[in-house]
Structures are given as C-alpha cells and as structure tokens.
C-alpha cells in the first residue's frame, strides 16, 4: 500500500511540473515577435516561387544530362 501512495505523490508532483511548464511556455510565447499576415504571405510567395524555379532548373538539368547520356550510349 505504501508504494501506491508514493506513486500517487509522484503523479501529483509530475502534474505540477507539467502545469508549471505550460505556464512558462505561455509567458515565453507572449514575448515572441510575430510577423504580420502581409509579411507571412510575402515570405510564403517567395518560398513557393523559389521551389518552382528550383524544380524547373533541376528538371532541365536532368533532361539535358539524360539526352547527353542517351547520345553517348548510341554513339
């Protein structure tokens, strides 16, 4: 019976630690400098455009190298 009582105290201690952690997280998130919707939208467009350009570049390089290898093999 003593072990279940000790486990219960440990559980209560753990719950207290989790609550304290959650409170500290809330305080820290209040200190964060969040970007505006306009800044977020602009950054998102830059990322999407960069990914598209990179995909096109890699696709073009892949196509050119495949054609070169195909010609070397046929040669």
> Is residue 43 a contact partner of residue 35, using CB atoms and an 8 Å limit?
yes
pLDDT at 5 over 70: no
With cut-offs at 50, 70 and 90, classify the pLDDT of residue 3: low
37-57 per-position pLDDT tens digit: 999 999 999 999 999 999 999
Output the six-digit token pair for 40: 């977020």
Q: Compute CA distances 12 → 16, 19, 62, 63, whole Å.
A: 6, 11, 60, 63
Under the phi-then-psi rule, with left for phi > 0, alpha for psi from -120 to 50, and beta for the rest, what region is 67? alpha
With cut-offs at 50, 70 and 90, classify the pLDDT of residue 1: very low
DSSP 4-38: HHHHHHHHHHHHHHHHHHHHHHHHHHHH--PPPHH
Parse the chain into domains and list their residue ranges: 1-33, 35-75
53-72 per-position pLDDT tens digit: 999 999 999 999 999 999 99
């Amino acid at each position: 019976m003593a072990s279940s009582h000790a486990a219960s105290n440990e559980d209560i201690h753990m719950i207290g630690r989790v609550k304290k952690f959650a409170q500290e997280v809330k305080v820290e998130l209040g200190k964060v400098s969040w970007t505006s919707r306009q800044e977020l939208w602009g950054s998102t467009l830059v990322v999407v455009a960069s990914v598209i350009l990179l995909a096109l570049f890699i696709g073009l390089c892949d196509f050119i190298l495949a054609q070169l290898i195909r010609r070397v093999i046929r040669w």
